[in-house]
């Protein structure tokens, strides 16, 4: 059975005091949920976030990491550094990393390998741009992102993978893929994995949708059979909104 997951990607938002305040609000307001709940604050606040969530089931995850073990990579963070502070899940391949930091499929495949080699869980993000969708090229783009990033993994690695389909045109724009568009793509992703790996792996991998998920549209998106939860940006920065989205699972 695949997990339901709601994760908040905080991006470059919230200083230390704001991080603690938001997490305190979240833990106070959280009620029982079927979903695994995760938050991804900025690196410098990961330890403080872990401490603030000590008695909570909310998991703290990282937004990115480097593929090298260690070395002369100024400004970068390794898997060991994350594991050393008790963070064992990492987002890899976010469209903002691809667009603003030059992260190619090749770099991302190396990051995925490096994280898996340390037994970390990987939340792998991918999704087409508006031009791809307009030219009806979105399935091909998604297939190639999956293939280049993930499809050469060992079958056993897949238990450590969570997928996050995030159409770039829906991120931070207020424009959401319709529940039908999300379902159509998620089903395509599952079919691609069935063909490339096997049906078991495809059925067991959680596929999250990301892109302008809000309290008023979460329930409809999450109701689709191949949508296993969401990766939330803006709405994860407001406690009541994030809680409503979690409860929509």
Query: Which residues are part of the catalytic machinery?
Result: 94, 166
Q: Is 172 in the site for ligand 13P (CB under 6 A)?
A: yes
Q: Is 103 in the site for ligand 13P (CB under 6 A)?
A: no
Residue 234 is assigned to a ligand binding site = yes
Q: Distance (Å, rounded) from C-alpha 177 to C-alpha 183?
A: 9
37-96 positions binding ligand 13P, by CB under 6 A: 94
H runs (alpha helix) in the chain? 16-29, 46-52, 79-84, 95-100, 105-117, 130-134, 138-149, 179-196, 199-204, 218-222, 239-247
Q: What is the DSSP string of 70-93?
A: SSS-TT---HHHHHHTT--EEEE-
Residue 212 is assigned to a ligand binding site = yes
Near ligand 13P by CB under 6 A: residue from 149, 167, 211, 229: 211
Residue 169 is assigned to a ligand binding site = no
Q: Which is nearer to ligand 13P, 23 or 197 (CB)?
A: 23
Residue 172 is assigned to a ligand binding site = yes
Q: Which is nearer to ligand 13P, 52 or 177 (CB)?
A: 177
Q: Which is nearer to ligand 13P, 8 or 158 (CB)?
A: 8
Residue 195 is assigned to a ligand binding site = no
Q: Is 221 in the site for ligand 13P (CB under 6 A)?
A: no
Q: Distance (Å, rounded) from C-alpha 127 to C-alpha 120?
A: 22
Near ligand 13P by CB under 6 A: residue from 41, 93, 149, 234: 234
Near ligand 13P by CB under 6 A: residue from 4, 5, 6, 9: 9
Q: Distance (Å, rounded) from C-alpha 75 to C-alpha 29?
A: 35
Q: With contact defined as beta carbons under 8 Å apart, do 112 and 97 qualify?
A: no
H or E stretch at 162: strand 161-165
The interface region with ligand 13P, picked from 19-27, 152-160, 165-173, 219-227 by CB under 6 A, is 165-173
> To which residue do tokens 């005091």 refer?
17
Output the six-digit token pair for 234: 């803006």
Residue nearest to ligand 13P (CB): 233
Residue 93 is assigned to a ligand binding site = no
For the stretch 142-181, what's the b/e string if a residue is b when 16 or more beta carbons lie within 10 angstroms of its beta carbon? bbebbeebbeebeeebbebbbbbbbbbbbbeeeebbebeb
96: number of Cβ within 10 Å: 19
Beta bridge partners of 9: 40
Count of positions on this chain that bind ligand 13P (CB under 6 A) = 14
The interface region with ligand 13P, picked from 25-33, 105-113, 205-213, 220-228 by CB under 6 A, is 205-213
Q: Where do contacts with ligand 13P occur on this chain (CB under 6 A)?
A: 9, 94, 166, 171-172, 210-213, 231-235
Residue ranges at the known binding site: 9-11, 172, 212, 233-234
């Amino acid at each position: 059975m695949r997990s339901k997951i709601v994760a908040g990607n905080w991006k470059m938002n919230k200083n230390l005091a704001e991080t603690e305040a938001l997490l305190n609000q979240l833990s106070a307001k959280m009620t029982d949920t079927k979903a695994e709940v995760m938050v991804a604050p900025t690196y410098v606040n990961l330890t403080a976030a872990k401490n603030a969530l000590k008695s909570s089931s909310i998991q703290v995850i990282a937004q990115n990491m480097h593929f090298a073990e260690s070395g002369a990579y100024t400004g970068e963070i390794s898997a060991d550094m994350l594991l050393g502070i008790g963070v064992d899940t990492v987002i890899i391949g976010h469209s903002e990393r691809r667009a603003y930091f030059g992260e190619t499929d090749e770099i991302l495949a190396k990051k995925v390998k490096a994280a898996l080699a340390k037994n970390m869980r990987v939340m792998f993000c991918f999704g087409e741009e508006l031009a791809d969708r307009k030219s009806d090229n979105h399935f091909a783009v998604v297939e190639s992102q999956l293939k280049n990033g993930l499809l050469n993994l060992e079958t056993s690695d897949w238990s450590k993978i969570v997928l996050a389909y995030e159409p770039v045109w829906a991120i931070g724009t207020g424009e959401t893929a319709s529940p039908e568009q999300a379902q159509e793509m998620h089903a395509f992703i599952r079919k691609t994995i069935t063909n490339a790996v096997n049906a078991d792996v495809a059925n067991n991998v959680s596929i999250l949708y990301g892109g302008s998920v809000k309290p008023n549209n979460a329930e409809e998106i999450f109701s689709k059979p191949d949508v296993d939860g969401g990766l939330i940006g803006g709405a994860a920065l407001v406690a009541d909104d994030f809680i409503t989205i979690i409860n929509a699972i």
